[in-house]
Structure formats: C-alpha cells, structure tokens
Chains A and B, each alone.
Chain A
Amino acid sequence: MIELQDLQKAFGEKPVLQGFTLKVRDAETMVIIGYSGSGKSVALKHIVGLLHPDVGDVIVDGQAVSTLDRDGLTLLRQGVGYVFQFAALFDSMTVADNLALGLRRRGLDEAEIEERVQEALALVDLSGTGERMPAELSGGMRKRVGIARAIALRPRYILYDEPTTGLDPVTSAVIDRLMVRTREHLGVTGVVVTHDMRSAYTVGDRIAMLYEGRVRQVGSVAEIQQTEDPVVRQFIEGRAE
C-alpha cells in the first residue's frame, strides 16, 4: 500500500503540492489526472524518494520514505518500477542494456536477464530492437521501451507517468491493455498519471484529480464519470469553459 500523507512541496516561492493526500490500495490501479503543471509528476517522484516533501510523508508498505537510510531506499526502489514521462532512456546504451541494467542490480544471472529482456520487449511489441540505440527510435517506441524497462523488473508497484501521451490511438490502446494485463497477471499495484481520459477509464480502478495542490475528488471510475463537481466535470469532459 502507498500512502501519500499531506504532502507539501514548493519550488522556491512556488507552491506545487499543498496537502496532497492519497491512499493507493494493494493490487489496484490508481489514476491521477490533473492539468498540465499541476504537480502530477512531482507527486509521483515523492513516492520513490526522488523528491523530498517540505511537509508530510509517503508511506510505502508501512515504512515512511523519509526515514529510510541508503540501503532502505535501495530496497524500496527495487520493488518499484518507474515509467518516466519522457522515457529517460540511457542514451549511451542499447535498448537491451537499458532493460538489463536494473536486472543486473538485482543480481540475476545473465541467462535470466536475457530471457526477461526479450520477454519485456515482446510485451511492448518491440522484439528485435534490442540492439538499437535509443536515439534511433521514434518517440512512441522510446516510450514503450521505458515501459518495458519497468515491467522487466516484475516489481510490486509500477508508477506510470503519462504512458500514452503522444502515442497514436492504436498504440495507446495496446499500452492500456498491457497495463491492465500487467496488473492481472503480476498483481501489480499501479499509479498512472495521465490526462488521456479514455486511458484513465480503461486502466483505472479509481481516479483521483489533483487540483491546486490537493486531491479535488477521488472515486471509482463510475463515480468520477457521474461527478457533480464542476472542476472535475470540466476536466473529464475537456471543455474550455
């Protein structure tokens, strides 16, 4: 279980999170929606200790992230896969090495690493690209490699930062299905940041909207679809006014 407790985070004078509280239950997929620049990526980074809150804390499996020492943080991170918004592939390595790096850290033997790399690439429909360099891939392909890199770890938690933004509708649907399957097969707990509402409805068990640094509303897909809250309504319907 991941609990974000009253997170507050400002960059300089600019407050981004102002009391963000959210519970993600085991084996569910929580979708976080919100306007561009509202702090969704910032919130996600707090979960793995890439950013530290000014106030509040993140509790993962009963452990407060802020209290973890170096080894504790390493252990936590070994259980979490992170899909970055802009893929964040290591551009000095081949695609296969990008996937293998995290597995090597977990001490798997080379045969198993190779097997997992191939399997993960197949899952995102990129078999045969293992020897390519990230710079030779299209944006959408890079994104899928980023997802494969997280899935290959077979983590307990996966955090997806806008996994379908910038992909064509069919590839988006493939990625959505992949996220659903990952949850069903591996029992992964997921947090998905997105503003693609179709994707949110497909993969989410529950949806939370981040607005002005706080959770505006959180509820099941059905509850969000029938919301009375004008702010949430406007966002999910994508109206300009």
Chain B
Amino acid sequence: MIQAIGRRSISAVEAVGRVGHFVMDMVRALADIGVWARLTIVQMRRIGVDSLPVALFIAAFTGVVLALQASYTFTGAVPLYFVGTLVGKTMMLELGPVLAGLALAGRVGASMAAELGTMKVTEQVDALETLAYDPQSYLVIPRVLAGTLMFPVVVAFAIATGIITGWLTSLVLLDLSTQDFIKGLKLFYVFKDVWFGLLKSASFGFTITLVGCIVGLGTRGGAEGVGRSATRAVVYSAILILVLDAFWAVVLL
C-alpha cells in the first residue's frame, strides 16, 4: 500500500518533470519564428471555427437559465432588476469561461490529441524531424499560441451571447424592461469582471492546447493509443480547468 503510494508519487513527480521539460523545449523553439508564425494563423482560424458554434450554443442556453433561476430565487424579495446583475456577473466571471472551457476541452483538446497522436504513431512526427523541423515549433507552438489567443475571443462572444439571451428572456418571460436589465447589469460592474474572465479563458486555452499537444505527442501503440490519448486529453484538461478556476478565484478575487 505504502509502496503503491510511493510509486504513484514518484510517477507524479516524473510527470511534472516531463511537462517542465516540454515547456522548456517549447520556449526554446520560439526562436524559429519563421516556422511558427504562419502556422499560428492557420490554427487560430481553425480553433475559432471549431469552437465558436459550441461555445455560443452553450452560452445562449446558460443565459436563459440564469435569468429564470435568478428571478425564481429572488421571489420578489430582491428587486427584479438584479436579474441583470446576476446574469452579467455570472457569465463574465464564471460560467462563460468555465463552460466554454470544458466544452472546448472536448472539442479542441481531443481533436488535437488525436491529430498529433496519429501523426506520432504513423511516424509523421519523425518525418518532420528528419526534414529538420522541430515538432515544437512546427506543431506545438502554433497550437498553444492559437489556443491562448483565441479562447478569450471565443469566450468574449460567448459572454455577450449569454447576456443577450438573458436579457431577451427577462424581456419576454419576466416582464423586466430593457432599462431595468441594463441598470442591474451596470450595478456592481467593474472592469475587472471582464479582464478576469478573459484572463481565465486565456489560461484555459493555454492549458487545453498544451495538454492536447503533450498527450498527443506522447501517444504509443496504433489506433487504440490514439483513442486513449484523445480521452486522456479531455480528462486531464477538464480537471486542470477546474483547478485553475479555483486558483484564479483565490489569487485574484
């Protein structure tokens, strides 16, 4: 039992060491700007196209539910325009970034791990190296950079969508006027709400893509290994998103 725990902790430490190594190699590869710059644009477009529909879909329904739940909770004891406050704050600070993050861990993270995993097991990664490309600068940096830059953009759209559907719901189902909704929205708003949410999204984007790349490039053993990597990438990044979320709340709120 103690032995098993010992073995586990050793392999956990090893895993952290491997990630550290990986990130160091990645930083070193930043020197090949001629290689990664153009590919980053390609990946940004891809991440945007892949993730925007999912993120907006989720945000739209979250906005509706938030508005209804807020009014249900207030039951007349709290002025109804607080619905605007609750929808705005919750979308910006928590649900926008986290729900989008979790959904995109499935969408973007899994597809990256599967794509790089396939390249790995079919020796395309080796082939890339023999052509004098560093997989870090050709594959990893474009993806991680694109994820870090694009997630805040996607989440910003998601937040806006959630607030709009929350407002529409208030208007149609809750008899709340637009003025009152906006009054509530502005009530406790501080600029920090926005940048906190977007900073969080950037860290999620970084995490999801980095995990996708590390897990993908570590794939072994054929089609089955690729499947395992895809699942693993989703699980790891979902866990890390929740941990990071708590971390940012402790550090920055």
Contacts and interface: CB of A to CB of B under 8 A. Distances in A.
A86 B130 contact: no
B28 interface: yes
Nearest to A105: B132
B132 A88 contact: no
Contact of B28 (A49, A70, A106, A153): A70
B190 interface: no
A77 B118 CA distance: 23
A132 B123 CA distance: 20
B50 interface: no
B13 interface: no
Given A70-B28, A105-B133, A90 B126 contact: no
Nearest to B126: A50
Contact of A105 (B119, B124, B131): B131
A234 B105 CA distance: 55
A188 to B, nearest CB: 15
Contacts of B128: 90
B127 interface: yes
A45 interface: yes
A102 B131 contact: yes
A45 B126 CA distance: 9
B131 A77 contact: yes
A78 B132 contact: yes
Interface string B130-149: 11111000000000000000
Nearest to B132: A77
A74 interface: yes
Interface string A55-83: 00000000000000010001001101110
B136 to A, nearest CB: 10
B122 interface: yes
A170 to B, nearest CB: 27
A235 B127 CA distance: 30
Contacts of A117: none
Interface residues of A, number: 23
B42 to A, nearest CB: 11
Given A88-B122, A90-B124, A50 B132 contact: no
B28 A77 contact: no
Contacts of A184: none
A144 to B, nearest CB: 15
Interface string B88-126: 000000000000000000000000000000110011101
B14 interface: no
Chain B CB within 10 Å, residue with most, of A49, A50, A106: A50
A89 B132 contact: no
Which of B35, B124, B133: most chain A CB closer than 10 A? B124
A86 B28 contact: no
A197 interface: no
Contact of B129 (A48, A86, A90, A101): A48
Contacts of B126: 45, 50, 84, 88
B115 to A, nearest CB: 8
Nearest to B127: A88
A45 to B, nearest CB: 7
B60 to A, nearest CB: 32
6 contacts: A45-B126, A48-B130, A77-B130, A89-B127, A91-B118, A153-B131
Interface of B: 28, 35, 118-119, 122-124, 126-134
Interface of A: 45, 48-50, 70, 74, 77-78, 80-82, 84-86, 88-91, 101-102, 105-106, 153
Given A74-B134, A89-B127, 12 more contacts: A45-B126, A48-B129, A48-B130, A50-B126, A70-B28, A78-B132, A84-B123, A85-B123, A88-B124, A88-B127, A91-B118, A101-B133
